Amino acid sequence: MTARSKSSAPKRPPRARHTQVDPVSVELIRNSLVAATEEMKSVLMRTSYNMIIYEALDFTVGLFDRAGQTLSIGLGLPTFIRGMSDVVKAKVARWGLSGIHPGDILLTNDAYTTGAHLNHLTFSIPVFHKGKIVAFSTCMAHWQDIGGILNGMTTDIFSEGLQIPLVKYHVRGRLNTEMRDLILMNVRRPDRALGDLEAQLSACRVGVRHMEEMLARHGAETVASAIKVIMDHSEAEARARVRAMPDGVYVAEAQMDDDGIDIDQPVPIRVKVTIRGGEMTVDLSGVSPQVKGFYNSGAGVACAQVAFKCLTLPRDNPINDGSFRPLKVIVPPGTVVSATHPAPMRVWMTYPMTVVDTIFKALAPAIPEDVIAGHHADLMIANVNGIHPRDGRLWIYLGGLIGGGWGAKSNEDGANCTVCMNDGDTHNGPSEQVENKFPLLVRHYRLRQDSGGAGEFRGGLGAEAEVLALSLINYQTRVDRVNNPPWGLAGGASAMGNQIGMRGADGKETLFPGGKVNTRLKAGEAYILRSGGGGGFGKPQKRAREAVLRDLRLGYISAEAALRDYGVSAGGGNE
């Protein structure tokens, strides 16, 4: 480890005496924590104002202990598996437990604390029991606008919007009106912003209520003891899974197309994974230094945690900090996933998903049955906005989120048209909602034929959306992995990469050589988003003929691709 590197792993809190707790109480408390964060999710989705929250699920809610350790997270975004815990710890460090009082509501959107961009406002409400803080209920959600430049590239954090340091939005139960007014003065649609703000507070209050009821029902000592058991159990399960992996040092690399400023200058992503003695170390020291464009983030530790969770406890295991005790992460400051002030971070989410992909790629020789080939690895966002002819007001839409192909596994085809892995439960905006709210017409939204990589198991298919402008719109894309498509594994073929285009009023299609486009479209012109597929797994010659014929019937592959990649004619014969 270099002198400037730091190793990050969840630290055990100081050992304390705990009362014995019976297994029934442990399970009741375990499920109560999960139920709390699930209800927090539901409340936020039902009360928020913007589609990016209630449809796309661009948010995360969670419960944390008094030290900021994760007790349970209701995920919209898996990448916030780490960020919210860091925010709670920063708030405790800022005021100290003695400086946080009943009725306080703590707020920040500091990008270098959350690890993301300024659009993610994070509120926390402390939970008190017998005069002592025992937990925090927290909600992060994406606001459509937080000020700053609306279109075009940003090159520092100052141009990206209002920066809110660690502040108290409520002080001992009283609204900090100056803080509210400052926020609303700096956003373009304060009515929408205020609605989302109150929705976040409602979600936090639900978490507080659940924790208070749990403490009243079981008692603080029993809850604390049960949480310790839950954490230790998660650790034991994760450690056992790591011990089953062969010890060794595994490396892989990939690259991004460019940073949006130095066009066609690839950005390297290099990872090293070491497995030894029931522990995994993910070293991100080889990842590119932070870049000039707005693709930086502070999500390096989160990338490793997302990959680790997928590989160890992927299914019915609540997320808590015990899960990550066998994981260590080395990430020096100043990389694209550990950026330092004043690096721009508006499109923070793009590079981390390729980092996760590359961790899987590194481990493919060791645990081929547990990894997937490369996936399309981009949110496929089009930043679309304009003045609505209906009311003359500004509208903002993060067009796209169309999903794409995921990589195939060693025994299964990749998933079709699924949102990239670091956004988990994120959904696209339904076409009906888009057409109702904005001056846009969705001409089609369909699977992209032949986009999945060929293999014994085929990669998932990407999607294609074509959207017609009904009035003048601004159209900006931030898409990567256009020229660095998803890779195959074990002899599987690469998939098609992402692709951006537009169609003129005369019907002529124009394709752009890269994914960074900033232009205007007039009424009658359309934008085109095509997401990449997933890489194939295994040699295409080994694919079952019946599977190839099924793909032909479903339109997943063309007759030309069936013959070229698999040697199977449309008539069903081998050639």
pLDDT in tens, the chain (575 residues): 333 355 555 555 554 455 689 999 999 999 999 999 999 999 999 999 988 888 888 899 999 999 999 999 987 677 788 889 999 999 999 999 999 999 999 999 999 999 999 999 999 999 999 999 999 999 999 999 999 998 889 999 999 999 999 999 999 999 999 999 999 999 999 999 999 999 999 999 999 999 999 999 999 999 999 999 999 999 999 999 999 999 999 999 999 999 999 998 999 999 999 999 999 999 999 999 999 999 999 999 999 999 999 999 876 667 899 999 999 999 999 999 999 999 999 999 999 999 999 999 999 999 999 999 999 999 998 899 999 999 999 998 887 788 999 999 999 999 999 988 877 666 677 889 899 999 999 999 999 999 999 999 999 999 999 999 999 999 999 999 999 999 999 999 999 999 999 999 999 999 999 999 999 999 999 999 999 999 999 999 999 999 999 999 999 999 999 999 999 987 755 55
Pick from 414, 489, 406: nearest CA to 458: 414
Buried b (16+ CB within 10 A) or exposed e, 82-92: bbbbbbbbbbb
Q: How many CB atoms lie within 10 A of CB 355?
A: 29
- Please state the φ and ψ torsions of residue 76, each to the nearest 5 degrees: -100, -55
User: Which pLDDT belongs to residue 433?
Assistant: 86
Contact 136, 126 (CB under 8 A): yes
Q: What pLDDT is recorded for position 318? A: 74
Tell me the C-alpha distance between 185 and 163, whole Å: 13
CA distance 500 to 345: 22
Of 559, 539, 440, 549, which Cα lies nearest the Cα of 490? Answer: 539
Q: 287 in helix, strand or coil?
A: coil
Tokens for 300, please give them.
């390096």
Per-position DSSP letters for 119-178, written without gaps between them? TEEEEEEEEEETTEEEEEEEEEEE-S--SS-SSS---SGGGG-----SEEEEETTEE-HH
193 vs 197: CA distance, rounded Å: 6
Burial letters for 292-304: b for 16+ Cβ neighbours within 10 Å, e otherwise? bbbbbbbbbbbbb
pLDDT of residue 399: 78
How confident is the model at residue 127, as a pLDDT?
A: 98
Helix axes 300-312, 80-95, angle to 10 degrees: 130
What is the rounded distance in angstroms from the CA atom of residue 365 to the CA atom of residue 30? 36
Burial class (CB in 10 A: 0-12, 13-18, 19+), 173: exposed
Can you give the pLDDT at residue 174? 98
Position 74 scores a pLDDT of 84
d(C-alpha 321, C-alpha 306), whole Å: 12
pLDDT at 16: 47
- Which residues have a Cβ under 8 Å from the Cβ of 54 and sit 6 or more positions away? 44, 45, 46, 48
Helices (H) and strands (E) in the chain, counts: 12, 21
CB 78 within 8 A of CB 421: yes
pTM over 0.85? The answer is: yes
What local confidence, expressed as pLDDT, does residue 314 receive? 74
- Compute the distance between CA of residue 34 and CA of residue 16 in angstroms, rounded to an integer: 25
Please report how the helices 23-47 and 220-243 are oriented relative to each other, as an axis angle in degrees rounded to 10. 90
**DSSP secondary structure code for residue 2 in this structure:** -
Q: Which residues contact 517 (CB under 8 A, 6 or more apart)?
A: 475, 476, 477, 500
First to last CA, the chain: 55
